[in-house]
Amino acid sequence: MFQDELDKVETPAIAQLQRLGWRYVRGVELSPEAAGAERAYYRDVVLVGRLEGAIRRINPWLSEENLRKVAREITHPNHVGLMEYNHAIYQMLVNYLSIEQDLGKGRKGQTVKIIDFENPGNNEFLCVNQFKVEGLNQNIIPDIVCFVNGLPLAVIECKSPYVADAIGEGIKQLRRYANLRYPETDEGAQKLFWYNQLMISTCRDQAKVGTISSSAQHYGEWKDAYPFTDGDIRAHPFSPGGKYEVREMASPLWYAGEFEQASPVTPQQRLLAGMLDPGNFLDLLQNFTIFEAVEGRLVKKVARYQQYRAVNKVIKRLKSGTDRKEKSGVVWHTQGSGKSLTMVMLAVKMRRDPALQQYKLVFVTDRTQLDTQLSNTFRGAQNETVYNAGSVAELKTLLSRDSSDIVTATVQKFQDAEAAGGFKDLNPSGKIIVLADEAHRTQFGGLAMTINAALPKAPKIGFTGTPLLKTQKMDQAFGGYIDQYKINEAVEDGATVRIIYEGRQVQSDVVGDSLDALFEAYFQGCSDEEKRAIKQKYGVEWAVREAPARIRWVCIDLLKHYREHIQPNGFKAMIVVGSRHAATVFKQTLDELDAPPSEVIISSKHNDPATLAQYTDRVHQKQAIQNFTKPLGEDPTAFLIVKDMLLTGFDAPIAQVMYMDRSLKDHALMQAIARVNRTCKGKQAGFIVDYHGLSDDLTEALNQFSSEDVQGTYHTLKDEIPRLKAAHTRVAAIFAGVKGADVDDYVLRLKDEDTRQQFERGFKRFAKQMDVILPDVAAKPYVPDLKFWGKVQNAARNRYRDPGLNILDAGEKVRKLVEEHIISTGVDPKIPPVDLLAANFRESVEQIKSPESRASEIESAIKHHLIVNLEEDPEFYKSLSLRLREIIEKTNGKWEQQLELLLQMVDNIETEHKQAADKVGLTKTEFAFYNILMAEVTRHGGDGLVGDEVHEDIKATSQFLVKTFDEATQIVDFFHKPDEVKRMKKEIKRAILDCSYADKALVTVVQERFMDLAKRKFR
């Protein structure tokens, strides 16, 4: 696997980085022991010489004293946690530093640039593989680290394309390196990530990127290398402009045809070209990285590919258009894909662009919540005052002012201003740009005319989460689409989840002559006079729909659906009703049915009766909405009951289902159903459960858009069955030819690691699809195989000691079904496999029927034992691993003979290590060091032979150094004291050079291997 990782992933990545303009240096060349070492210790993560050289080059006026001050401020910051370090260093890189110096006009603050964003070629881009960094408790060795001006700004972790969940494993490793998994254990080297801007996990066939605050689910692919095409990636050997020095690497892989014209571009190549082209990388760093406070915690976000593409397309249009019409246009990015953040990033980049930074920016939003979000986010991103128009008079003043400021206002303010009159020619300047949110409303119709009248020369950039209507597309007054990120693209990327629509049979469907009969049924307890009053006040249909008896039936049904489909996986629900009164009836009914807690979120009106007023307190509503967004374990609020509020712009990933009991049309319907498309861990899909009969409304709404724009808007359970069948077929194909119901036979089919990983991927996909459909009757035919394959997976996890085999992310419904089946067959899935050295190991093996399966169990147990003990004595356990391989290869197919040899190996494995050490006259600890030294001397000797004199020298050296380590490590925290470590390394060097096998080439490698082993033996 390591060779596949190196040959198919790491080496081609370095070759491509070189083509893009990054110089390449091997990690060993940057070790403290290397000739002309660039760093004194492994804990140093900044290449200080290169950093100082870059600062001097970019700021030639800077004095040497100030140069050292600046470099020290960057290399020795003082903050509390990783995010604080990262944020502070980011600010230094992007917003620069200020230092006092006299440049001829007196001593005053001068701006010092660490990175030259205006001239990318004035920076040094360096990629390094296997860059070793010393952590508090252990060393880390990332596959590739990308340095800009000596600062480690990106880390790339490479995994073999043939590993199960390679990307997930890469992300875990990145998070371990950054000490993000279990911070209390100090398992990583956090300092490396003080400077980090991108964390990339790649396996050639897939590549994802995140930041230091990204959980695994928030890592994303880079599917469009804009402005480069796949043809550009294949065709151009060097970065556009050729302004970067390229140093060829030793490996000829690229020249062997890695990027031939006929080869399809891999996701890895596309991500590297799109994100690590030096110009793009600096652009992403400067303009597309946002720090945002989320629930009191600072979160770092980097643009997704569609956001980067859209912003740069808008910038290009604004700069190349000759008039307002040519500069205007619409960005349609489907809801849930980060539209608000795209607007912020556009404003940030415009503020830094010399040609656009003098423009006034006017944000027009359709709700106060987004208005506030944009103001806060942009203020944090750009540290610039944002003027919010709180009244019509203030709006007029802000728009009239000739200044390059940022103004935000809600649509309502513009409408009020138009109604008040006098809203023409407020500012005829051509240096105003209007950024309009929800463009389907603000770009077209009367409001657009109002904005045009007030700001006659201002181009308008519209943003919408739903596509333009066909009629709006025909209106070219605003330039049409600039960029599109469609519904099915977002689902495919994992930016959103697909929506599944289900119409439920409601006893009160209002068709034909049944309406009056239903009215009579629901209001049979009322007098004729009361019935007449109800009909007069509400009408027959309205009264029927909101009759308490009908609402009770709906509540009973939706509670059953919620408890079976949604609650088991820990998600929540929204209930959308037709009136404020209905909301209160739903709430009362749910409480009577002993439902999980619910909250009513409705607007208030003057003179509301007490039945409504009790639910309209704004402070309580705000807290209720905030609580709803938390997991069920933190807050039990399961339902939000709404009429109009929260149907647009409300982001609650925890909401998986929307129960609809009202009519919605066009954009309103499209926006409402998108409330359940946000991604959340364990969420396979969002659900719309329809009690109103919205299918006609949905069809009518979709017909108003181009079919290619709304493809994939929603699916039905009927659409999900073929997906399930296909997923089932893929798993079944793995076991083709295996007959009967003996689990061992199926486990044996998974002996090959590639087959096991194929099964793992296929079974997870099948289990997740089952989770979408269960407990619907359509899933019933597949339940037996789900249970059986789950048992096979559990048995394979034990047999092959492979913890990766699990369905932890498949959903609680599926996990419970599978685990209950495994337990019912007498197996506890929580009990680990029997250890090789356990007293009952032979007994457990004898219970396996076939000799081949027994041999497979012993082989796996031995492999696991060797891996676990490898660090105790690397060379000895490597030799056992080679012996195991030899047995397997020589006896393949001769299962009885293989079984006998493996059992002999098991019998000897516990005592063999001690016997080997005793034979040489060494303790187990001395023997481990002896084995390393013997192996390295043999390798460096060339002929593979070691004479008696050399052998005695190796033995004596090992004993001496173990004694020295034992004494030295009595010092508290020895391995965290650089001077002590340095002294010990000198002892190792002296001991080696004083021997008969003295060789300077041995020193560095033995120092490193001995120090690593000592951390294991003497900590």
| Range scoring the smallest mean pLDDT among 208-222, 308-322, 323-337, 586-600 | 323-337
Averaged pLDDT for residues 897-904:
85
Per-residue model confidence (pLDDT) at position 267? 96
| Range scoring the smallest mean pLDDT among 217-221, 436-440, 669-673 | 436-440
Separation of alpha carbons 867 and 873, rounded Å: 11
Per-residue model confidence (pLDDT) at position 472? 66
Per-residue model confidence (pLDDT) at position 374? 67
The yes-or-no verdict on residue 9 having pLDDT over 70 is: yes
Name which residue leads in pLDDT, 544 or 204: 204
The percent of residues in the chain predicted with pLDDT above 90, rounded, is 48
Q: Give the chain's radius of gyration (CA, Å).
A: 34
CB within 8 A of 829, min separation 6: which ones?
794, 819, 822, 823
DSSP 8-class letter at 7: I
Q: How would residue 109 be classed by pLDDT, with cut points 50, 70 and 90?
A: confident
Model pLDDT for residues 117-138, shown as the tens digit of each residue: 999 999 999 999 999 999 888 8
Per-residue model confidence (pLDDT) at position 248? 36
Per-residue model confidence (pLDDT) at position 245? 36
Averaged pLDDT for residues 218-237:
88
Whole-Å CA distances, 942 to 932, 947, 994:
16, 13, 20
Q: How would residue 445 be classed by pLDDT, with cut points 50, 70 and 90?
A: low
Per-residue model confidence (pLDDT) at position 479? 66
| Range scoring the smallest mean pLDDT among 168-172, 439-443, 622-626, 871-875 | 439-443
Averaged pLDDT for residues 319-338:
89
Per-residue model confidence (pLDDT) at position 943? 58
Q: Could you count the other beta carbons within 10 Å of the beta carbon of residue 441?
A: 18
The yes-or-no verdict on residue 969 having pLDDT over 80 is: yes
Averaged pLDDT for residues 863-890:
88
Separation of alpha carbons 802 and 805, rounded Å: 6
- Region of 896 please: left (phi>0), alpha (psi -120 to 50) or beta: alpha
Average of per-residue pLDDT values in the chain: 86
Name which residue leads in pLDDT, 916 or 829: 916
Name which residue leads in pLDDT, 942 or 485: 485
Q: How would residue 957 be classed by pLDDT, with cut points 50, 70 and 90?
A: very high
The yes-or-no verdict on residue 342 having pLDDT over 80 is: yes
The yes-or-no verdict on residue 243 having pLDDT over 70 is: no
Per-residue model confidence (pLDDT) at position 471? 67
Whole-Å CA distances, 108 to 93, 103, 105:
21, 8, 8
Q: How would residue 996 be classed by pLDDT, with cut points 50, 70 and 90?
A: confident
Separation of alpha carbons 421 and 405, rounded Å: 25
The distance of Cα 370 from the centroid of its chain, to the nearest Å, equals: 24
Averaged pLDDT for residues 504-529:
66
The yes-or-no verdict on residue 308 having pLDDT over 90 is: yes
Q: How would residue 534 be classed by pLDDT, with cut points 50, 70 and 90?
A: confident
CB within 8 A of 315, min separation 6: which ones?
346, 349, 350, 353, 356
Whole-Å CA distances, 957 to 354, 987, 997:
66, 11, 11
Give the total residue count for the chain. 1019
Q: How would residue 88 be classed by pLDDT, with cut points 50, 70 and 90?
A: very high
The yes-or-no verdict on residue 889 having pLDDT over 90 is: no
Separation of alpha carbons 88 and 582, rounded Å: 51
